[in-house]
Structure 1
Amino acid sequence: MDAIYARQSVDKKGSLSIEGQIELCRKFTAGELRIFSDRGFSGKNMRRPAFGELMEAVEAGEIERIVVYRLDRFSRSLADFSRIWEVLQKNGVAFLSVSEQFDTSSPVGRAMLSIVMTFAQLERETTAERVRDNYHHRASLGAWPGGPAPYGYALSKAEMDGRSVSSLIPDEHAKTVCRIFEEYAKPETSLRGLAKDLTARGIHGPKREAWDNVTLSRILRNPVYVQADEAVYCYYLAQGVQSRQKSEDYDGEHGCVLIGKRSRSGSAQKEEKLLYLSVHEGIVSAALWLRVQEKLSFAAQLPRANAGKYSWLTGLLKCAKCGYAVKINSIKTERRCKLLCSGRSNLGGCDASIDVDLRELEAHIAGEIQRSFDACPMELLPAGKDRAQAGAILEIERKIDRLVAALAESSAVAVPYISQRIDALHAEREQLLHAPTRSAPLRRFDFQRASFDEKKLIAAEFVERIMLDGERVHIIWKA
């Protein structure tokens, strides 16, 4: 059955009436017919009585083709029409526009619709770009760019250049935010431990009662809380983040807003981040905030394999058939661990059956890692140097590299600060390099005697991934 849809928002000269639209559409139909018309309704949205009835008939399978006088009689929003077209396709309904001469039952008509869909995509992207530009514009003024206030703040109004703009003021949760920073800055505090403590104390999180690592990490990394000074400016400069204000504007009182922005140059559309100084007051000192960032950065260097509970191979195991991760499930009743392809168990898209005993697999990988160590000349192996000490040296070298890279784009004001920081890191590195080493005699490293955590760290350092295919095991080493 065909359906004719007609719409006219107002009667005006030069506008084809609903009756005229229906009469023209009748010429392109034959057989049984249903007519739907909306008088006095705009096409800017889909909240129209007859239109709703038509879509219900479509989903009920009662309509084979919809005929309209013009596409804009059906919908003025191309984005809306793209969603409607998905419903029509799903129900096998063709679409004919009489005046624009395209019928989706023909290849040419479908091609015309593709052009329409392209413009719908352009409309969506243009709107998104306009929203992003407004977001950045408000942030450049020092105002809160938009969206809900971050945890610990409430939305307010501030006067700026004779006009009222959105801003932030601390609320009843601000003390909790300060405590989160103070507690996490302590060496013995972990994100997980802090989350458990906050939950146990009945302190409500941003969206729910319980706290988790992700929520805490987002709060701790957010520059909205910091009383930003020149040290914070230089910290972000070293990360490759540009600021719209000068370093001397960072007065140690106001917070910041960090916004991602896609570069329009090139085809890759790399995301860059911009830092804006805001008019709202920070609640965490710059020194404390920077200590927390250092701790978070150090924790981020640890491989994801540390999350492993049952094996030091967690995070390295992959299915050779589909490439998805292989999970380790503990079966308490059988006191063993079962290996499952997540592509099969979660997505149902893989039929791989992995028949490898976890403990035998660990022994095999341990033997291969040991052989790699044994193949190294003795002088290339660590001669008693504490592993934690060596890791600290590597972390310092990474920091130096980032700061040196930042010097090229630094302002004259920031250069002395960054240079001073580099000198301090060099001194710290030299101190660690010349620190007394353990007095134990030089010997070969014994992987089997390493602790559980050490095995995880070493495996993640040397192994890219371990491919499992039935009973076969293939190790891919890092270059």
Structure 2
Amino acid sequence: MKTDVGSYLPGSKGDEDAAVAIYARTSSKRQQFGYSLDEQVRQCLKQCEHHGWTVRFIYRDEAESGKDIDRPMFQKMMAAAERHWFDVIVFWKLDRFSRSLMHAVQLEADLREFEVGLFSITEQIDTTTAAGRFNFRNIASAAEFERDMIQQRTQMGLRALAIDHKWPNDRPPLGYTKQPDETLSVDSEAANLVRTIFELYIEKRSMPRVAEQLNEDGFLTNQDNQWCPRAVGDILRNKIYTGQYSVGDICEYVKEYRILSDDVFEQSTAIRMRFRNRSTSRSRMETSRKEQIVDGVIETYNEFLKERET
């Protein structure tokens, strides 16, 4: 992926003028005219000339997504901003700078520490003035409010699903299928595989060995992948197999979702936790031994002092 190198443009005006870095970005190499890198830069140069600003740097990211800040020239620009190489970042439109308003708000806070402002030539975003900073913070507050409302609506929707014991996504746990009404039903064949996994683990007492056995027998995961120790562990830790349904803040027993007995689940859990209990007792022993050694050293040192006094 080709990305233009940030260029330095010697200024023709005095040091009293604001030094500017222009930032331009396209999402693809076939970006239409009006959004192209050259056109974005041209519009920014024109605006800088209008304000009497001196353009020092031009950063151009071609075919780079704006969903995050992991863009080569963007990172170089932020590093230069931290070194105070310019006073203002000018861009054609906010979504060229960042697709996420919340990211833009955080970036503005970082740039404020570097004493670098933001200026959009097509929007009312200008943090180089007090009024502009006020407007930007209002935009930030509105964005934060919208985000909180989305989270609240999501939690309400999740709770509504959970009250009826529905599954919140299209990937139910191994052993179940999702019904048209969004509840789960036990899949007899997959449920047998779940029971086999618990039986194998109780027998072999090793997740890697269970995964190896499942792969040898030709079993696949829910996503049609081969088994690995982590996938086995996810099954062994999932309490839904004992009918314990937990979504959001709703935790209830659902008889229809039970695949395993409590005894089998608790037995496998005890095996999983055996090393943790062992490590705890070992660490206590080691602490006790360390204390004995320290006490011995102190006692020896005290005896040495007594001998010197006599």
Match of 2:240 among 218, 224, 235: 224
1:284 matches 2:292: no
State the partner residue of 1:11.
32
1:155 is paired with a residue of what secondary structure? coil
- The 3 A distance-change label for structure 1 pair 130 and 22 is farther
Distance 1:56 1:257 in 2: 48
How far residue 172 of structure 1 moved from its aligned partner, in angstroms, is 4.5
For 1:81 and 1:33, the matched residues in 2 are separated by 22
CA contact (8 A) 1:5 1:66 kept: yes
Per the alignment, residue 197 of structure 2 pairs with 173
Q: CA 1:130–1:276 in structure 2 vs 1: closer, same or farther (change >3 Å)?
A: farther
The structure whose RCO (Cα within 8 Å, separation 6+) is larger is 2
Hey, what does 2:7 align to over in structure 1? none
Cα distance between partner residues in 2 of 1:7 and 1:126 = 30
Aligned 8 A contact 1:142 1:278 in 2: no
In the alignment, does 2:50 pair up with 1:27? Answer: yes
Which one-letter code corresponds to 2:50 in the other structure? K
Pair 1:89–1:257, CA change in 2 (3 A):
farther
Post-superposition Cα deviations, 1:126-161, rounded to whole Å, max 9, x if no partner, equal 454455456556656655435998xxxx53662523
Deviation of the 1:66 alpha carbon:
0.9
Shift of residue 278 of structure 1? 8.1
Distance 1:276 1:86, change over 3 A: farther
Residue 179 (structure 2) aligns with: 160
- 1:322-370 CA-partner distances (Å, limit 9, x unpaired): xxxxxx996332339xxxxxxxxxxxxxxxxxxxxxxxxxxxxxxxxxx
Would you say 1:333 and 2:293 are equivalent positions?
Answer: yes
> Counterpart of 2:137 in structure 1: which amino acid?
S
Percent identity (aligned): 24
Determine the C-alpha separation between the residues in 2 that align with 1:133 and 1:68. 38
Question: Is contact 1:155–1:166 with CA below 8 Å preserved after alignment?
Answer: no
Q: Of 58, 80, 102, which residue of structure 2 is paired with 1:79?
A: 102
**TM-score normalised according to structure 2 size:** 0.51
**Pair 1:64–1:332, CA change in 2 (3 A):** farther
CA pair 80-14 structure 1, distance change in 2 beyond 3 A: closer
Q: CA deviation at 1:84?
A: 2.6
**8 Å Cα contact 2:23-2:97 kept in structure 1:** yes
- Relative distance call for 1:54 and 1:207 in structure 2 (3 A) is same
1:4–1:25 Cα contact (<8 Å) kept: no
Q: Contact 1:257–1:278 at 8 Å: present in 2 too?
A: no
Shift in Å at residue 3 of structure 1? 0.5
SS at match of 1:331: helix
Name the aligned partner's letter for residue 173 of structure 1.
I
Q: Which amino acid in 2 is paired with 1:84?
A: L
| Higher relative helix content | 2
| Aligned AA (1:158) | T
Change (3 A) 1:257 1:89: farther
Q: What's the CA shift string for 1:90-119, capped at 9, x where partnerless?
A: 544322334544543444443333223323
Amino acid at match of 1:284: S
Q: Deviations over 1:423-452 (max 9, x none)?
A: xxxxxxxxxxxxxxxxxxxxxxxxxxxxxx
The one-character-per-residue Cα deviations of 1:66-85 (angstroms, maximum 9, x if unpaired) are 12344333223112213433
For the aligned residues, what is the CA RMSD?
Answer: 5.4
| TM-score normalized by the length of structure 1 | 0.36
d(CA) in 2 for partners of 1:276 and 1:135?
Answer: 18
Tell me if structure 1 keeps the 8 A contact 2:158–2:248.
no
Residue 293 of structure 2 aligns to a residue whose secondary structure is coil
Alignment map for 1:37-116 (pairs within 5 Å): 37-38=60-61, 43-46=66-69, 50-59=73-82, 61-89=84-112, 91-116=114-139
Question: What CA distance in whole angstroms lies between the structure 2 residues aligned with 1:50 and 1:91?
Answer: 18
Structure 1 residues 280-317: Cα deviation after superposition (integer angstroms, max 9, x where no partner): 442015xx59x99xxxxxxxxxxxxxxxx79xxxxxxx
**What does residue 245 of structure 2 align with?**
257
In the alignment, the residues of structure 2 paired with residue 159 and residue 146 of structure 1 have an alpha-carbon distance, to the nearest angstrom, of: 9
Q: What is the distance in 2 between the residues matched to 1:11 and 1:274?
A: 52
Shift in alpha-carbon separation, 1:224–1:37, aligned structure 2, 3 A: same
Extract unaligned runs of 5+ from structure 2: 1-18, 212-227, 268-283, 297-310
**Equivalence for 1:119:** 142
CA shift in 2, pair 1:52/1:26, >3 Å: farther
Q: What is the distance in 2 between the residues matched to 1:52 and 1:25?
A: 22
CA distance in 2, matches of 1:279, 1:333: 58
Q: How does 1:181-196 map to 2 (within 5 A)?
A: none
Q: Offset of 1:5 from its aligned partner?
A: 2.0
Trace 1:382-397 onto structure 2 (pairs within 5 A). Answer: none
Contact 2:43–2:92 (CA under 8 A) maintained in structure 1: no
Gaps of 5+ in 1: 181-197, 227-254, 262-272, 293-308, 311-327, 337-479
- Contact 2:22 2:59 (8 Å CA) reproduced: yes
Alpha carbons of structure 1 residues 329 and 91: separation in structure 2 relative to 1, 3 Å: farther
Q: What is aligned with 1:461?
A: none
Matched letter for residue 59 of structure 2? F
